[in-house]
Chain A
Amino acid sequence: MRDIEQVWVYLSASPLLHLTLTLVAYQISFWLYRKGRFSPLLNPVLFSVIAIVLILVLTGTDYDTYFDGAQFVHFLLGPATVALAIPLYRQFDRVRRSAVAVLASILVGSATAAASAVGIAWLLGGSQAALVSLAPKSVTAPVAMGISEQLGGLPSLTAVLVIMTGILGATVGPYLLDLLKIKDSAARGLAMGTASHGIGTARAMQVSEVAGAFSGLAMGLNALATALLLPLLWGLFS
């Protein structure tokens, strides 16, 4: 019988271990989330990330080794984004009826996201690199990383800030919208998607398809608006 260390060396070199770790951590987190009646505080992304980071740190595994296995899950983000066209199509009549309100709200949200993140970090003495990396934080990760790079930020830091923003919005958003007495699914979805992209959309989709469709739409249009307008505005102010 081989000793445990040999087995570990063998397993940790294969993508299967970290792929399975990702799936198991998520299933447990989702089980908790469902047990908690989908309370936003039990966000499954948050709990999975905490559990996996702890395990990687305790076993001395680096992120690249982890990602060799986890990339198969990560890869499906692209096809899942394409698939958001289906709920959007199913809700298209509703979207079209309020097209002007939808576009105006996304532009307001997009401007608020970038201006408030940069303004607050600047007031608190954040470094130039942090300010630039924060600016596109509400935009879906691949676009946000591109914008950050274009403006001289750190794309990989931006990716992390984007995910943190997503988890924050998905966790706090539903309570905030309740507090503001916003009950309309369209408005709730739009707010979640504009502020916290795909993670907000995932949360919205778990609650209602109307909210999910508006959220996915907001995610796409916010990415487009920020990618086109932020570099222009940044050039004016700096």
Chain B
Amino acid sequence: MLFYLTLIFCCQLVGELFIATTGLPVPGPVIGMAIMFLGLLVRGSVPADLGKVADALISNLSLLFVPAGVGVMLHAGLIAAELVPITVALVLSTILTIAATGVCMSWMGSRAGASGKTVDGGGD
């Protein structure tokens, strides 16, 4: 288990170093994800213990956003000063984005015959 946790950290570290040297406008962990993905493609399967470590991290993913979310208290004043434009833009734009992406994917996906039946009953 510790080995695979270390491996995950290594992927992130290499990702961070890659960003620092190339100046690409992407965060290190996203490059780390790409490196891990390429590694899995080469290996051809997911080691069982790596799967366990990854599942443990991912099943608590929403917890990890809480500290950043509490940062709302820092900008309460700024947001209150422009409450209407900011909240209306956030709400409408989020709705439009979800609708546009979802409709586009289900339309193109079903035309390509790649989707349609879902094995797991269609969650979100």
A interface vs B, CB < 8 Å?
22-23, 25-26, 30, 40, 43-45, 48-49, 52-53, 56-57, 63, 66-67, 70-71, 73-74, 76-90, 92, 94, 97-98, 100-102, 104-106, 108-109, 112-113, 116-118, 120-121, 124-127, 130, 134, 137-138, 140-143, 146-147, 150, 154, 156-157, 159-161, 163-169, 172-174, 176-177, 180, 182-192, 194-196, 198-199, 201-212, 216, 218, 220, 223-224, 227-228, 231
With contact pairs A78-B12, A202-B62 given, residues A186 and B82 touching in the complex (Cβ less than 8 Å):
no
23 residue pairs from A and B, CB less than 8 Å apart: A74-B64, A79-B57, A81-B12, A83-B8, A85-B33, A87-B54, A97-B114, A98-B114, A101-B114, A104-B108, A105-B104, A113-B97, A143-B26, A161-B90, A169-B97, A169-B98, A180-B102, A183-B122, A187-B102, A190-B105, A202-B62, A210-B123, A231-B25
A49 partner, pick from B29, B72, B116, beta carbons under 8 A: B72
A101 partner, pick from B79, B108, B120, beta carbons under 8 A: B108
Contacts of A150 in B (CB 8 A): 25
Contacts of A196 in B (CB 8 A): 94, 98
User: Binding site of B, secondary structure by majority: helix, strand, loop or mixed?
Assistant: helix
Contacts of B54 in A (CB 8 A): 83-87
With A and B bound together, what is the CA distance between A143 and B78 in angstroms? 22
Contacts of A116 in B (CB 8 A): 89, 92-93, 96-97
User: Binding site of A, secondary structure by majority: helix, strand, loop or mixed?
Assistant: helix
Contact A205 B25 (CB under 8 A): no
Contact A120 B61 (CB under 8 A): no
B interface vs A, CB < 8 Å?
5, 8-9, 11-12, 15, 25-30, 32-37, 40-41, 46, 50-51, 53-55, 57-75, 78-79, 82, 84-86, 88-106, 108-112, 114-116, 118-124
With contact pairs A78-B12, A86-B51, A156-B71 given, residues A45 and B62 touching in the complex (Cβ less than 8 Å):
yes
With A and B bound together, what is the CA distance between A208 and B58 in angstroms? 12
B105 partner, pick from A48, A102, A125, A231, beta carbons under 8 A: A102
Contact B95 A98 (CB under 8 A): no
Closest 5 CB pairs of A and B: A207-B123, A109-B101, A126-B85, A208-B123, A191-B102
Contact A105 B108 (CB under 8 A): yes
B104 partner, pick from A26, A109, A118, A220, beta carbons under 8 A: A109
With A and B bound together, what is the CA distance between A118 and B89 in angstroms? 7
Contacts of B66 in A (CB 8 A): 22, 25-26, 45, 48-49, 52, 70, 73
Contacts of A165 in B (CB 8 A): 90, 93-94
With A and B bound together, what is the CA distance between A97 and B110 in angstroms? 11
Known pairs A83-B53, A165-B93. 17 more at Cβ < 8 A? A22-B63, A53-B72, A81-B27, A83-B36, A84-B33, A86-B54, A100-B112, A101-B114, A104-B104, A109-B100, A109-B101, A113-B97, A117-B89, A138-B93, A169-B98, A191-B97, A206-B62
Contact B91 A168 (CB under 8 A): yes
With contact pairs A100-B112, A105-B104, A204-B123 given, residues A173 and B61 touching in the complex (Cβ less than 8 Å):
no
With contact pairs A172-B94, A187-B105, A195-B98 given, residues A202 and B30 touching in the complex (Cβ less than 8 Å):
no
With contact pairs A165-B94, A177-B124, A223-B26 given, residues A191 and B101 touching in the complex (Cβ less than 8 Å):
yes
